Structure 1
């Protein structure tokens, strides 16, 4: 198996959005070393490529959730498009675009002024009605400095009796889902990191964490069987989807923020993640969501994924150093 040094060298040569996170999370380089690399996200590589597609009004593809004039029949035949504003802002956050940069600040203002949700015409930073969308909007808004207090209050009021969230709640569902829960948890954690959160938001976050931990990140509470075999398959970008690596990276992030030790109920998911490492030291993309994108960042399913490899390595580093 390739050494970690070889794998890290491969990652460092990929894209600024990958390289700066390797320097910070894996090499523990000081800020003065990785911050100049992070700044390149705006002007080089995937970050610059995505920003080149931004409309003059701050949006992407002329819409918040789907492109302007999108034909919904295409959704059924070719999959959901991922080129509209909400998905692009999420991707820029994951790239690490500096929220203090002029480009980021201008985007927040323009999107707030010009982008309206397809569901009900609400202003973008006011959110809409669906928990997965609202969770991601909180994550992005908190990171980039938008006022998303109203969405946080709404999400806190929507915790299910079993501790998590479900986008089908408005259609009568009384059970939480893994995907909705991870989307909301990421948002509440980012909000807490940036603002300190509220007693209610912190309690809701802990409730959602317990929902996933009770299920060892992928098992049904009722039978112990995997709730969905696809939770064990790794993908990136996630969009709204759930897998064990997304959950593990969340719990790593939460522990770094709170100083809490790793929960032992993560052990099985950690073992599953280790088992998926390829002989060359990387992790492969198992699948990807269908639908139009501005560009792909990896070579496709079955090939090494820089994003999945980065996330897997930093999760295992955190776990092994506990």
Structure 2
């Protein structure tokens, strides 16, 4: 069996992603499959998933909506619209100020921007979020949740995790038609992208060592956490040209396909509604890896999709 055929045997969400992005043909999941499964847990009266808009992880509205956004749930679905607006209003209050001089974690700000932008939601708070993001970019190009930490805890360097979340948020902001300070946003993402590329997507700029081993491992869903495959998928989405500093990470993608597919990866501990993968084989990660290869290593992509005889059972 070819890998594409195996993907097309998966949930209708995987069929949708595979057909649209790998085969470049139209396909609509009609909010069925995994999306319908998540909708079954939606509390229409409270307009949310779980008991809080951000916690418990990973069953809150924020993390459920991030999954539904990746699965390309209809952005105008009432559940997506209402739950996202509630996340925005609950999490972004008083211009992001939480208490005692502290602000909402910047990685969460990036997530909220991503969710709101995908929903095409028009609210003055969106402009406040853009102002906040632009005001607190670090001198090295990225962002860090600890920019406002008291005393010696304040960070003056960026975080892989936070920078990734903000980049994803502003990518959606641009993609879905927002215009407030857009020219400045476009200028600011260049040094933020460079922050990741200078580090070859997972290395310390100072020592050259791998920052964390998990940065070299596929995870789906990624939650708030960074890995180099999430970064590569971001670069694919924004149609970034190939950069030789991606090469180490691309080699990891190719290595991940040694069995003809990518494993589902290590999952982050926490509450979930249901497992997305029933075995060690990961259709989501395989789709993601193929999408990366299609953009940045077309020869390997073609070889992967043409190979036959692999047993996916």
Q: Structure 1 length as normaliser, TM-score?
A: 0.82
In the TM superposition, what is the alpha-carbon distance from 1:88 to its structure 2 partner? 1.1
Q: For the residues of structure 1 that align with 2:243 and 2:105, how far apart are their CA atoms?
A: 29
In the TM superposition, what is the alpha-carbon distance from 1:125 to its structure 2 partner? 10
- CA contact under 8 A between 2:168 and 2:234: conserved in structure 1? yes
In the TM superposition, what is the alpha-carbon distance from 1:261 to its structure 2 partner? 2.2
| Structure 2 counterpart of 1:71 | none
| Structure 2 counterpart of 1:54 | 42
- SS of residue in 2 equivalent to 1:167: coil
RMSD: 2.3
In the TM superposition, what is the alpha-carbon distance from 1:196 to its structure 2 partner? 5.2
Distance 1:123 1:50, change over 3 A: farther
| Structure 2 counterpart of 1:320 | 297
Task: Point out the more displaced range, 179-188 or 290-299.
Answer: 290-299
Deviation sequence 1:74-98 (CA, Å, 0-9, x none): xxxxxxx211111111111011101
- CA contact under 8 A between 1:61 and 1:83: conserved in structure 2? yes
| Structure 2 counterpart of 1:168 | 146
Gaps of 5+ in 2: 300-313
- CA contact under 8 A between 1:139 and 1:191: conserved in structure 2? yes
| Structure 1 counterpart of 2:204 | 220
Q: Does residue 66 of the first structure (1) align with residue 55 of the second (2)? A: yes
Q: For the residues of structure 1 that align with 2:191 and 2:13, how far apart are their CA atoms?
A: 32
| Structure 2 counterpart of 1:278 | 258
- CA contact under 8 A between 1:234 and 1:287: conserved in structure 2? yes
Count of aligned residue pairs for this structure pair: 285
Q: Structure 2 length as normaliser, TM-score?
A: 0.85
| Structure 1 counterpart of 2:16 | 20
In the TM superposition, what is the alpha-carbon distance from 1:200 to its structure 2 partner? 1.9
Q: Does residue 269 of the first structure (1) align with residue 249 of the second (2)? A: yes
Q: Does residue 158 of the first structure (1) align with residue 136 of the second (2)? A: yes
| Structure 1 counterpart of 2:29 | 38
| Structure 2 counterpart of 1:195 | 177
| Structure 2 counterpart of 1:287 | 266
Deviation sequence 1:101-122 (CA, Å, 0-9, x none): 444334445555xx623xxx83
Distance 1:299 1:282, change over 3 A: same
Distance 1:190 1:125, change over 3 A: farther
- CA contact under 8 A between 1:213 and 1:265: conserved in structure 2? yes
Distance 1:191 1:59, change over 3 A: same
Deviation sequence 1:13-35 (CA, Å, 0-9, x none): 21122111111111111xxx31x
Q: For the residues of structure 1 that align with 2:66 and 2:42, how far apart are their CA atoms?
A: 14
Q: For the residues of structure 1 that align with 2:39 and 2:95, how far apart are their CA atoms?
A: 19
- SS of residue in 2 equivalent to 1:195: coil
| Structure 1 counterpart of 2:80 | 104
Q: For the residues of structure 2 that align with 1:28 and 1:309, how far apart are their CA atoms?
A: 17
Gaps of 5+ in 1: 68-80
| Structure 2 counterpart of 1:296 | 275
- CA contact under 8 A between 2:10 and 2:283: conserved in structure 1? yes
Larger relative contact order, structure 1 or 2 (CA cutoff 8 Å, min sep 6): 2
- CA contact under 8 A between 1:132 and 1:180: conserved in structure 2? yes
Report the structure, 1 or 2, having the larger helix content: 1
Q: For the residues of structure 2 that align with 1:151 and 1:140, how far apart are their CA atoms?
A: 12
Which one of the candidate residues 161, 164, 167 is aligned to 1:179?
161
Q: For the residues of structure 1 that align with 2:147 and 2:263, how far apart are their CA atoms?
A: 34
